[in-house]
Structure 1
Amino acid sequence: MSQPQQTSLRNRLLRALSPEDFAQLQPHLEPTTFQLREVVITPNAPVDEIMFIESGMVSISTAHDERQIEVGLIGNEGLVGAVPVALDCVTTPHVYFVQLSGEALSIGREPLCAAMRESPILRRLLLRYVNTVIVQITQTAYAHASLSLEARLARWLLMCHDRTDGDELVLTHEFLSMMLGVQRAGVTLAIQNLEGAGRIKAKRRRIKVLDRDKLLALTNGSYGTPEAEYARLIEGA
């Protein structure tokens, strides 16, 4: 099987690597796929394989009893498992599961850590990425504590829209209620209100973004900071 070439990749983090750093990782990158609801990192278990996402989305969630709430979202801008691996923690209390099926390039923890030891520039870039994940998580905490359900849903739809091709998102009310930590009836009402204002168009298992600016106007500053940090620290590095 031919090795992936940096210029043909969709993962923005891999594309931001120097050619020398990518060459260190290239022999260890293995194409893989992941399916809806698949758990790709189990809480408190060693993170041995991590994934540079090419398409699809993975949620970082916290779970207590039977409640599960999303605290972070990873798409083709990122690396699933970067936080525990780059910080040398080995495990994480969070669950990482697939929100939208897709493709990725998988790499073992050991070859990635070896490459980070060899290249301070690679280590710095991955730690900068970890910082953007932390910023996203803190913005999510602010959103959950301070914003209305409609505003939180608007922010979340914008984040999903950033990580998918086109304007149509494959989402169910059940899944949205789990991610936002509310009852399904509340999500249904919030979707109806966003649709009534011309921000989205809801279909069965799908939501189409009609007006990003109208969604953005609802978010009260909770959207945009992690995205700006990524552009500054990763793509401007």
Structure 2
Amino acid sequence: MKKSQMSNRILRSLSYQDFALLAPYLEEVELPSRYPIARPDTLLEYVYFPESGIGAVLSVLPDGKKAEAGMFGSEGFVPTSTIIGDTLVPYLIEMQVAGRGHRIPVERMRAVNNSSATMQVPFIKFMHVFAVQVAYTALANAKFQVEKRLARWILMCQDRLTADQLEITHEYIAFLLGVRRPSVTTALHILEGLKLIRSNRGTIIVINRKGLERFAAGCYGLPEREFERLLGAGANDKP
């Protein structure tokens, strides 16, 4: 397994020496839609590095209601708390769009981390970047209208799928955004009217990426720039 063959950007950001320590223990896995990576207050078994697909960190109420707190894909790893030695999380982590990836047992990950003084640096940087994303999700939910939140969410999905076409239903968008389905339908019509997207049953096609970014009006962009600053091409990718 070669570092250059990895699509996961955290794995690619490791030095060649650190990747060589980790690679023998990485297991390739399928990550189907709704695959539970971690459940609330359940002992964590693996650290996951998606190569494709999209996952979500979901806050869960005692009555079962859920809301998306953060999104991840091939740019990151989950659960992030394993890097600081934790073995439980209070939220649900699951795949939303099917993909593939690699995983490593938590205990093995801890042992590998302890064998290198530099291994943890990219992981801790990602924890910071993910915290920035969650903060901007809270800002978007509190201060932005549904159509701007939807624009941000579409952009974030496109970043992780690297495709113009997103396969997802109105019902599921409503669930992730924490709004009613009619609100999603109205927001999609607004974005279509501005010729930013096309929306069919279960499909959203981005037709004007730059326009969508401008429409998001600041609730998209800063977390993405923070990732590129700390973990983007050249940040730690040395032979």
TM-score (norm 2): 0.94
- How far apart, CA to CA, are the structure 2 residues paired with 1:68 and 1:91? 18
Deviations 1:137-195 (A, max 9, x none): 00100000100000000000000000013200011111100100000111111111111
Q: Which residue among 108, 111, 115 is the counterpart of 2:112?
A: 115
Give the SS at the match of 1:185: helix
Contact 1:67 / 1:181 at 8 angstroms: preserved in 2?
no
Aligned to 2:159: 162
Contact 2:47 / 2:109 at 8 angstroms: preserved in 1?
no
- How far apart, CA to CA, are the structure 2 residues paired with 1:13 and 1:94? 22
- How far apart, CA to CA, are the structure 2 residues paired with 1:33 and 1:70? 22
Give the SS at the match of 2:215: coil
Give the SS at the match of 2:86: coil
Aligned to 1:132: 129
1:151 aligned to 2:148?
yes
Aligned to 1:58: 55
Of all paired residues, the percent bearing the same amino acid is: 34
Contact 1:58 / 1:80 at 8 angstroms: preserved in 2?
no
- How far apart, CA to CA, are the structure 2 residues paired with 1:118 and 1:105? 20
Instruction: Count the aligned residue pairs.
Output: 233
Q: Which residue among 169, 175, 199 is the counterpart of 2:172?
A: 175
Aligned to 2:65: 67
Contact 1:67 / 1:178 at 8 angstroms: preserved in 2?
no
Segments of 4+ in structure 1 off by > 6 A?
Answer: none
1:101 aligned to 2:113?
no
Contact 1:125 / 1:234 at 8 angstroms: preserved in 2?
yes
1:29 CA displacement: 0.2
Aligned to 2:79: 81
| Residue identity matched to 2:197 | I
| Residue identity matched to 1:68 | K
Aligned to 1:39: 36
1:66 CA displacement: 3.4
TM-score (norm 1): 0.95
- How far apart, CA to CA, are the structure 1 residues paired with 2:114 and 2:153? 36
1:11 aligned to 2:8?
yes
Superposition RMSD on alpha carbons, in Å?
A: 1.1
1:142 aligned to 2:139?
yes
Deviations 1:54-112 (A, max 9, x none): 01011011122232111111111011212x10122211111011110010011111111
- How far apart, CA to CA, are the structure 1 residues paired with 2:26 and 2:35? 20
Q: Which residue among 187, 212, 218 is the counterpart of 2:209?
A: 212
**Structure 2: runs of 5+ lacking an equivalent:** none
